[in-house]
């Protein structure tokens, strides 16, 4: 029915010279058919389609806003994840540094223990 609406508003081809030409007859039959089928219902159909188009536009705009909001949230999450990754790398480095310090402390304790034994031996020799 929408096609008939557009045909109804279309003028006959400019190449048509006479009102009795075949193109003019087809056009007249189309206009008559629209009138017989209730032109007002066609207008209502077009109004409904325009209204639906408006609602679709609003829905698409709403979806676009949701998409923008989700994209911002994803961006925030990505930034937070990057910060977490960076902190994990720092923590790993600190853990390695801590492990190295622990090994140094253990070596120092061993050395102190050995030196303590040597001192005790020296003292025991002096007392003899």
Q: What's the maximum distance between 2 C-alpha atoms anywhere in the chain?
A: 145
pLDDT at 56: 75
Output 8 or 71, whichever has higher pLDDT: 71
Q: How confident is the model at residue 112 (pLDDT cuts 50, 70, 90)?
A: very high
Q: 55: alpha, beta or left, given left = phi > 0 and alpha = psi -120 to 50?
A: alpha
Output 15 or 86, whichever has higher pLDDT: 86
Task: Please state whether the predicted TM-score (pTM) of the whole model is above 0.95.
Answer: no
Which of 47, 63, 64, 53 is closest to 2 using CA atoms?
Answer: 47
- pLDDT single digits (tens) 9-59: 555 555 545 545 666 666 566 666 666 665 566 666 666 776 777 677 777
Counting DSSP H helices and E strands in the chain, the numbers are 3, 0
Which residue has tokens 């005790």?
A: 120
Cβ 30 vs Cβ 9: under 8 Å: no
């Amino acid at each position: 029915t929408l096609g008939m609406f557009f045909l109804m508003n279309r003028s006959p081809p400019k190449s048509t010279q006479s009102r009795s030409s075949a193109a003019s007859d087809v056009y007249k039959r189309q206009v008559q058919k629209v009138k017989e089928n209730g032109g007002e219902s066609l207008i209502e159909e077009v109004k409904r389609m325009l209204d639906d188009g408006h609602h679709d536009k609003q829905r698409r705009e709403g979806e676009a806003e949701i998409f923008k909001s989700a994209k911002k949230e994803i961006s925030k999450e990505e930034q937070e994840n990057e910060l977490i990754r960076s902190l994990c790398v720092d923590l790993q480095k600190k853990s390695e540094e801590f492990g190295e310090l622990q090994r140094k402390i253990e070596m120092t304790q061993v050395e102190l223990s050995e030196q303590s034994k040597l001192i005790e031996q020296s003292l025991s020799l002096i007392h003899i």
